[in-house]
Amino acid sequence: MAEKLVFRNIESLSVREFLESFHISNKMLYKLKNSKAVSVNSETIDFNYLLKSNDCLTIEINNFEKKLTNPYDRPLDIIFEDEDILLVRKPPGILVHPDGNDNHTLDNIVSYHYLKQGIRRTVRHCHRLDVDTGGLILYAKHFLASAHLNYQIEKNLLKKRYYALVLGKMENTFGTINLCIGKNRHENNRYLVSKSGKSACTKYRVLKSNECHSLLEVEIFTGRRHQIRVHLKHIGHPIVGDSYYGKKGDRFFLEAFYLSFLHPRNKKQLEFQLPLPDDFKI
């Protein structure tokens, strides 16, 4: 059965301009044209055709959804879903995507969710979280949505914020950590502040504190591996339960609670926010 994307109410754009508005590559644009996957009012049409308000543009996407992920049946905490995107809450302790050893990941669960809906789609997470970090993860349900969301990430238009519970009372109520991060050559899969590393910027605001702990709202402006963990450790306030950069505990206290971005179809701003988990409260 052919799977299709359907778009209506498009005005004053050619077919080419409409497809380019998703920031797809020239290679993908050529592939769409060459495969005759795009039609308007059920007819294959030149990409220079100027769309009218009552036109119906359809894209057959079967040839673009071939990379399937093994399904895994487990409950999925869905925050929002429509025909283009899926937003879920990842529980702590689960990988986002298979690593060659574990096929019981969030991607596998999303794959099962798609199959239950009767759709066979490539599972496309737009960003990742460390295995012990919980919170919001955004999925693109087709290649056009993926291209547009990846463009937003590249241009820093997709905004993420985190709750972090750290050790110690912070001296400043807010601050910016603008220090480069590189690999730790002496410890596998560890990172540290390094002048020879890649630029990294983290902002924080103290929401509440006592003599033992501080609850922070954290926003990152770069996507370096372990960025929040490394920066907070460097200023002397490691995240509670961080076995890599602090002291292992029963719970790792970092949660991606906020996400804002433009919807890939209608380009409207969307914002989502999770409540503070009960065990973060001090």
Identify the structural domains of the chain with CATH numbers, from first to last: 4-64 (3.10.290), 65-155 (3.30.2350.10), 161-256 (3.30.2350.10)
Catalytically annotated residues: 130
Using a 10 angstrom Cβ sphere, with 0-12 exposed, 13-18 middle and 19 or more buried, the burial of residue 67 is: exposed
> What is the three-state SS of 147-212?
HHHHHHHHCCCCEEEEEEEEECCCCCCEEEEECCEEECCCCCCCEEECCCCECCEEEEEEEEECCC
DSSP tag of 248? B
Q: What distance in Å separates the CA atoms of residue 120 and residue 33, rounded to the nearest whole number?
A: 22
Q: Tell me the average pLDDT across 55-70.
A: 91
Give me 162's structure tokens.
């985190």
Which of 90, 170, 141, 175 has the alpha carbon at shortest distance from 263? Answer: 141
Looking at the chain, the whole-number percentage of residues with pLDDT higher than 70 is: 100
Region for 121 from its dihedrals, namely left if φ exceeds 0, alpha if ψ lies in -120 to 50, beta otherwise = beta
Q: Tell me the average pLDDT across 2-23.
A: 93
SS3 of residue 146 by DSSP: helix
pLDDT in tens, 164-200: 999 999 999 999 999 999 999 888 889 999 999 999 9
How many residues are listed for the chain in this entry?
Answer: 282
